[in-house]
Structure 1
């Protein structure tokens, strides 16, 4: 038995191991405590590892003082003797188990500390979750929802009143315009009648002149008659002609007298119309002034109502945003709680696996080396002990003899596994960061979409009520109701349409024409939010009667300045109201032909023909 006294080895400082091509020093692969590093240097400073036996033989001839070992366990000593194989009891031997055990114990302590920290965090989260007054928040939320419903009803009533006021103002404006137009027409007629009156007076003067002339002719004719009566027998023919001429003149005189009487009556009627028109002008001016005053009062009242409506809408939006933020906070706390539970379960599972691995290692060491690792003192001795030194030397010698069974790929496998662990850890961190970023983006998108949805919904709702009342009656009831739900973006929208004299429980109970008009109201209310230059309608007037077709045409005329409508129809009224008509016929089987007709040109030709007549 040989012994190495570590204290006496202190005088020998380890030198740099000589490096060789195609060979690796054994000392570069061994990690040992400082207490035995010098002893290992004395024992293994000339030991190298090669890839195969041929390389070992070549290097042995070049360096006869060195020992070369192959991964298969073959060894060439300085004497040139080749050793191969290993004993069965040395197979599977591994070096550095103590250090690996210490590392595992350190990892276990770190895991236990991390588990305790996570449990404390989880307890803190549970306390925070319990401290949140969910019941009070829900009651407050319900109160806000009820208040929102009341405000929506009030807002609807205000909208209805505002629209009614707007319609009344529009009606007053139309009446004012109509009164002004009538006033202008009356003044124009009066202006146009004055020349006619003058012309009639001139005609009367001319006819008076003709009458006087006729009277003079009658006088002359009577004188001629007296003269001719004396010569009756000689001038019978001249007498008859004179008598005929006299009858004609008398007829003209009678006609002139009748015309004079009719012209006098017409002049009296015109004077009465002029006085009536002047009275109407005075009355219309008084009405215009009173309507202007009423209009100013209504505008002031409308401005006040509009301000109240704006304030109510602002309060409603603030309450809704606060509700959404509260829900987001609760959702985040629940998500954090779930993540904490998952991490706790994973750490517990990892702890169990580590404890199982430590037990397996302790059992393997106890089986192979007949020693209990838990009983070994890891602290180095203060004084030198021969027995301990003997045991250490024996253990080192045994390790050197069993060196052939060392797994040289363990370090490489460890590096690969460590690299993969670092990669997976980085991937996990990236995924968690991406998840947080995605959740933040989703929340922002939901807030923006909710705001835009509310604005668009309110606009479409107001347009729907207005257009529905244009197509039906002013007193008919129509509305769009957003059904309550957790997410307004996924809530259903209920369409309320109640024409006069009907109280349907659903739209399915309406007639075909009423359904079509309701659908048109909804279509154009959405269209007003984002108008389009073109709109194609396919036989939408098929279920409508003549009165509703007129309303439909009136609605189209309202939007025809900004949108070109292409309508597929069989209704004559719809065709008559269009500017261009395209008929599709099939003169030959399987061959369609398009026949365009410009209705505006036809109307212009017809109106010019009437003017010419």
Structure 2
């Protein structure tokens, strides 16, 4: 249907539909030929304006292609989202920065720990041991020198008879002995320090060994972290390349979509132009139809006037014989005096008959015949509209029945589930009063266990309230509303039923 006109594929179908008694509607073929039940037929060669339906079809095809391109665009976007290149890149970069910071913090913590301080102390002690060993060696050499001097002095004392020299040598010997004792004391002290330092060195070596092992572990962890960083960096590079490829494909798709959008814009402009041409053509068609209707009205009035004139003046039909021989208008064979005399008699007779005969009866008969024909046409239109309305009513009745049955089944299912929740161990349902006549209504059926109640009067007030509330909630489930106001719905219920209602609503 297109502007109260039916569009057909070929001439035969357009002709059969246009002149069918149940349709009687103007039809137009795809090629532009037009059939009118009133008797007008238009068609033949058409200009480019007759192809606007084909152009509209092209526009629809372009729109379908656009929708297909948009689907491809959505697929590309979904692929891009699935890969999550940017998210992975950011996450790997953060992991890289985090591992690098952890490595730097580990180095700083290692320098600030007691292990590092003890390592420095160990190095200082090693240097001090070296200096003590050097001092001990110099003291031992000096002690040996003193011992040799003491032996020499004792030998000299034995050989020297001089008392003074003996005293001097004795003093020197005493000084040498005192110096020797001091050196021995300092040497023993150095030996004790040396032993304690060696013990400290052993302890520090053990600690250094533990620290070395721990440092090796840290170096291994650092190495693994560096390897992981390198792996992540390579992954980031691969993902970056893949992201560049996807972005390139996406840009290509965007260019294709832009091109299609430009084509669609041109098609839309063409469609707007065709729509304007179509509107102008339809306006011209309406103008021509209006002119045609006016001409038909004028023609009808002229025909009516002609019929009246023909009935009132029968000589008009015979006027074509005027002046011809061997006809009633062959005046050469007529006697004018007799004709005038007969005319005078006929006029007198007409005057006498006019007093007895109604001359307007013929005109009234023509009007009544016209009214009869018009009423007959209106009756046909009414009968056709009546048949259409009856068909529409039957279709609506079928649709109404289907919708009613669908709503009944959905509400009945929700009613049973809700009532079972509000009152555990019970069940409720709806049944048709008359299956053949759905408009007779429905009735409730309630069961407790396997026992079905005959009517709602066998239920308590709270149970009837639960049945009503279940029906209301099932109706609201079928067609939800934006806002519900439940005012004292639990007035006739006990606490357990109220809790069940709250659970149901929640």
More contact order relative to length (CA 8 Å, sep ≥ 6): 1
> TM-score, normalised on structure 1?
0.28
